[in-house]
């Protein structure tokens, strides 16, 4: 059930389902049910509820960027004109090598995760792509040396 703000209250079974599906969204309902200790029918019902409530947005694939030829990754912080978020976001959605971006509160306005084949391509994305966007005032780049995923559903 959703609370007054439209958020769904998750119990331990829901969190277990999300943890298992995050690790492997291709697993069968039988395997999922076994792993979270519920019946297969109950697993179907719970997953359908999570999907219809918008908790699960989609079932997808997680790509290893290095194995896919994208060995250079960086976070690029953008300072933008305050009236340009929508236009900058629209451009970022279509820009090659942009993996993810977020609007921030703090010293920078936007944080962009970029994954490229090499440093030369990264330089091109930053200097000729991001810095040329209308509304971008400045950028700051942090090269990623190593990364790992956390336990979102813990």
At 79-114, the pLDDT tens digits run 999 999 999 999 999 999 999 999 999 999 999 999
Q: Over 50: is that where the pLDDT of 115 sits?
A: yes
> How far, CA to CA in Å, does 86 sit from each of 5, 14, 75, 131?
25, 34, 20, 16
Burial of 153 (0-12, 13-18, 19+ CB in 10 A): middle
How far is residue 116 CA from its own chain's centroid?
A: 17
**pLDDT value at 153 more than 90:** no
Pairing mode, strands 72-80 and 98-103: unpaired
pLDDT digits (tens, 9 = 90+) for 52-67: 999 999 998 888 999 9
Phi, psi of 55 (to 5 degrees): -65, -45
The pTM score is 0.79
Please report the pLDDT score of residue 36 as a whole number: 97
């Amino acid at each position: 059930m959703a609370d007054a703000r439209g958020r769904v209250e998750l119990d331990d079974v829901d969190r277990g389902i999300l943890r298992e599906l995050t690790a492997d969204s291709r697993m069968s309902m039988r395997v999922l049910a076994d792993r979270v200790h519920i019946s297969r029918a109950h697993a179907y019902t719970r997953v359908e509820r999570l999907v219809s409530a918008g908790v699960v947005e989609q079932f997808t694939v997680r790509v290893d960027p290095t194995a896919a030829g994208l060995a250079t990754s960086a976070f690029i912080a953008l300072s933008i004109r305050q009236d340009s978020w929508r236009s900058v976001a629209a451009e970022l959605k279509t820009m090659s090598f942009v993996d993810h971006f977020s609007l921030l509160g703090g010293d920078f306005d936007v944080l962009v995760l970029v994954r490229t084949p090499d440093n030369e391509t990264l330089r091109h994305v930053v200097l000729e792509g991001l810095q040329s966007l209308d509304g971008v005032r400045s950028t700051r780049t942090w090269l990623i040396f190593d990364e790992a995923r956390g336990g979102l559903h813990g």
